[in-house]
Structure 1
Amino acid sequence: MERRKVTFKLYPDAQEVERLTVWIHLHCELYNAALEERIDAYRKHAKSISYYDQQNVLPEIKVARPEYVELGSHALQQTLRRLDLAFQAFYRRVKAGQTPGFPRFRSSKRFTGFCYPDPAGWKILQHGGRGATLRIGSGRSAMSIRARGKHRFGDSTRPNDLTITRRNNQWFASVTLRVSAEDCARERTGDDHRGVDFGISDWATFDNGERVSNPRFLRNALPKLSRLQRERARKKKNSIRYRRLSRQTATLHERIANVRRDFLHKETTRMAMSCAALATEELRTKNMTRSAKGTQEMPGWMVRQKAGLNREILSAGLGMAHQMLSYKVIETGSRLHLSNTRQLKPSQRCAGCWEIVPKTLAQRTHVCPHCGYIAPRDQNAASVVLIDALMPGTGVAARPKPLPQWGKSKSVTRETTAKASPDI
């Protein structure tokens, strides 16, 4: 069984909005109280409190605070589990020598929502088309909220969990479905073998010279975004006009994210459906977008230029594209090959003779002094990762030179399935 997520937009009335807001406030209060209990226990008695210790106290809390009863035991447990995951991430960063980032208290306005970790206590009803109803609770206290959304899977799907979130005064319900492999399958329209190099100037460049231009959604919206932020800076904080401009800014950010996600879904679907094998390189966007500020002892240089480059990299959504490809190639029966960037060096290696040809980032044309091969830099990198996918062997060290007529040999493909990739 595969897991797929579908998001419904909720349209609650005034009473339902008030009730959902109260529920978020109660979940936030529980989160902050559990965090304070952990801090006090360690400060006063040097004792660490686990998730199970706090979970066992929930029945007593519901007796003292009856308003927590209608929230459901499993939803309350998930809020405590959310805090426990924050502490596990904190300990992991401390052990790795990274910036720890101790879990912080949350305000109810910034608390995103709550989650039902299993199908108990809620139900989603589809009415045909895009109409739906989300039913939470049972009996007279149950809520039936109008919703809009649809998934492409059949009626054999089984719900796994529900997450209700509030963004910019709008409500959404994200449902994780358990879907069979047959319902997930998509019919592939082509059997091409393609290498692709993701970038900034062109969002994607294929080994055959095809290019997908970068829409630059954030850059196009920056003038309007800057104007809204300047106007908000001149207003008194928390005034009516300040809050109005804050909502407009949040709406613009949400629109940028929506059109980017729509673009990525369409392009990755086209790639997965038209290719039997797709090769690209591993991208670690977290390392690529690291700040250039440096430290006080060793300050960085060209900080503003690097910040602008980081903004463009994040706006392109390259990491999100890899995540989408990882499950879409499974649905179409294709294969995704991820080349090791540090070993292969696609930007520096020649696709004609397999020699390393050092180039600066400003050099956009690959000119090999060894074999005379000339090609655009990104197209050459796409050809290199495709050769790496189609060649036999277990690593770059096993094949210092490409075999002759590599493009005609299909029986010796070395294509890594997306499930076997540890970085997806």
Structure 2
Amino acid sequence: MQRLQAYRFELKLNGEQQRLMRRFAGSCRHVYNKALALQQARHEAGEKKLGYAALCKALTEWKARPETLWLNETPSQALQQALKNLEHAYKNFFEKRANFPRFKKKGQSDSFRYPQGIKLDQGNSRIFLPKLGWLRYRNSRDVLGEVKNATVSQSGGKWFVSIQTEREVDQPLPQGEAVGIDMGIARFATLSDGRHIEPLNSFKKHQQQLARYQRAMSRKVKFSNNWKKAKAQIQRIHTRIANTRKDFLHKASCQISQNHAMIAIEDLQVRNMSKSAKGNSEQHGKRVKQKSGLNRSILDQGWCEFRRQLEYKAAWNGGFVVAVPPQYTSQTCPCCGHVSKDNRQVQTKFACVECAYEENADLVGAINILARGHRVLACGESVQSGRSVKQEPTEATQAIVA
């Protein structure tokens, strides 16, 4: 089977190389925003949206204009990749996987991609990128497979390169049995076999420190040197929060995907679950402060990223992930099948009013998710978001979950 994998390394740059990267990222951001503005103008005028090929022709015209001749300093393929990113953003919007494309901001979208022309010298820990030359990077592990593309990005004041490779690997045999996972806040994940994973709450641990630095920045003159230093400190805290959460999610997803052939999870709509309860000027919201804290706790868990990691890691290990409808999973008795909100009068305890079955509420949810996962595979029960199962079960996996 073909396996696509990305390797991310921190780049070790000098001042001139950093200036070139900022310039390239700014050019790609300018092309993306200009193309997005063009598409919006055509839509308002009632004209058809331009495709990728037509946008490339427009890019050639932009590069020939006297006011944008500086676009020629950036590799042409990197600018074309920015247009491909916009095309992909529109596709995600039309397929209801993301919001409408937004304009990129300086400092938040500093990245560009090379589809070819990359040379990797792992022995000397360096990589060659067009118009940048040989760059040194922190070589923390070996890169396996044929290099397909490289993406350079900036995060927390540092520059990174993500190298995507492709290689042929043997189809792995799935390990373990089927498992259902109930996601929560008090417990990050509860498995149907009785085990559970405690939450990390990365943002909550840094919340007071972050608020202190944000208050300090608010007292400084905007865009002054001290204000820029305070902003950089806040960015470092956010980077630390994100890296800590990502490390936690990678370890948890690896452990689960390596030990289970089938993983059933809820098809949660995190965007809807974390909507603000503030309301509007005509109809004010209720319990806004409590809902704000709940939204913060939900987003702190990283459920969407956890599901994404489970899907590709399960495929790497020969298993697969199935998403199930989340309705009433915590109100259904796994013993008699009775469904009632009275079964869960206490947040952490499940007590069936019909057969008096008692168990931890999260564990009951995980058991019901596993049972529903089998029904989704057998009967094709639809999921909430309309997304289908991303990995089809192999013959070896079907024998285990049957």
**Shorter-chain TM-score category?**
0.7 to 0.9
List runs of 5+ in structure 1 lacking aligned partners.
398-415
Q: Distance in 1 between matches of 2:46 and 2:181?
A: 54
Partner of 2:399: none
Partner of 2:128: 135
Partner of 1:144: 134
Q: Distance in 2 between matches of 1:49 and 1:284?
A: 29
Equivalent residue for 1:334, pick from 319, 326, 347: 319
Deviation at 1:218, TM superposition (A): 0.8
Whether the 8 Å CA contact 1:204–1:212 is kept in 2: the answer is: yes
Partner of 1:356: 339
Deviation at 1:393, TM superposition (A): 4.5
Deviation at 1:84, TM superposition (A): 4.3
Q: 1:194 to 1:84 in 2, by over 3 A?
A: closer
Q: 1:111 to 1:283 in 2, by over 3 A?
A: closer
Is 1:78 matched with 2:81? yes
Alignment of 1:196-211 (within 5 A): 196-211=181-196
Q: Distance in 1 between matches of 2:218 and 2:315?
A: 48
Deviation at 1:78, TM superposition (A): 1.6
Q: 1:377 to 1:173 in 2, by over 3 A?
A: same
The normalised TM-score by structure 1 is: 0.79
Deviation at 1:279, TM superposition (A): 2.7
Q: Distance in 2 between matches of 1:58 and 1:275?
A: 49
Partner of 2:391: 419
Equivalent residue for 2:118, pick from 100, 105, 122: 122
* SS across alignment from 2:391: helix
- String of CA shifts for 1:15-65, please: whole Å, max 9, x gaps: 11122222223333333444455566677x765562433311444544556
Q: Which piece of structure 1 moves more, 238-247 or 33-42?
A: 33-42
Q: Distance in 1 between matches of 2:186 and 2:212?
A: 26
- String of CA shifts for 1:120-147, please: whole Å, max 9, x gaps: 23223322xxx6312112xxx5511111
Partner of 2:215: 230
- String of CA shifts for 1:182-221, please: whole Å, max 9, x gaps: 3x85x76x52433221110011112333221112111111
- The one-letter code sitting in structure 1 at the alignment partner of 2:269 is R
* SS across alignment from 1:5: strand
Partner of 1:284: 269
Percent of matched pairs sharing the same residue: 25
Partner of 1:160: 148
The normalised TM-score by structure 2 is: 0.83
Q: Distance in 1 between matches of 2:107 and 2:326?
A: 42
Deviation at 1:238, TM superposition (A): 1.2
- String of CA shifts for 1:70-114, please: whole Å, max 9, x gaps: 523221212233344455667x49xx8x9986743x454444221
Q: CA RMSD in A?
A: 3.2
* SS across alignment from 2:166: strand
Q: 1:142 to 1:300 in 2, by over 3 A?
A: closer
Is 1:262 matched with 2:264? no
- String of CA shifts for 1:330-351, please: whole Å, max 9, x gaps: 1222243332223xx2101001
Q: Which piece of structure 1 moves more, 269-278 or 349-358?
A: 269-278
Deviation at 1:281, TM superposition (A): 2.2
* SS across alignment from 1:419: coil
Equivalent residue for 1:378, pick from 354, 362, 369: 362
- The one-letter code sitting in structure 1 at the alignment partner of 2:138 is R
Deviation at 1:179, TM superposition (A): 2.8
Whether the 8 Å CA contact 1:27–1:114 is kept in 2: the answer is: yes
Q: Which piece of structure 1 moves more, 331-340 or 169-178?
A: 331-340
- String of CA shifts for 1:306-349, please: whole Å, max 9, x gaps: 1111111111111111111111111222243332223xx21010
Q: 1:375 to 1:49 in 2, by over 3 A?
A: closer
Q: Distance in 1 between matches of 2:325 and 2:83?
A: 39
- The one-letter code sitting in structure 1 at the alignment partner of 2:125 is A
Is 1:346 matched with 2:295? no
Alignment of 1:238-277 (within 5 A): 238-277=223-262
Whether the 8 Å CA contact 1:153–1:179 is kept in 2: the answer is: no
Is 1:369 matched with 2:359? no
Alignment of 1:390-405 (within 5 A): 390=374, 393-394=378-379
- The one-letter code sitting in structure 2 at the alignment partner of 1:419 is Q
Q: Which piece of structure 1 moves more, 263-272 or 285-294?
A: 285-294
Q: Distance in 1 between matches of 2:178 and 2:98?
A: 42
Whether the 8 Å CA contact 1:16–1:143 is kept in 2: the answer is: no
Partner of 1:12: 13
List runs of 5+ in structure 2 lacking aligned partners.
383-387, 394-402
Q: Which piece of structure 1 moves more, 264-273 or 50-59?
A: 50-59
Whether the 8 Å CA contact 2:323–2:389 is kept in 1: the answer is: no
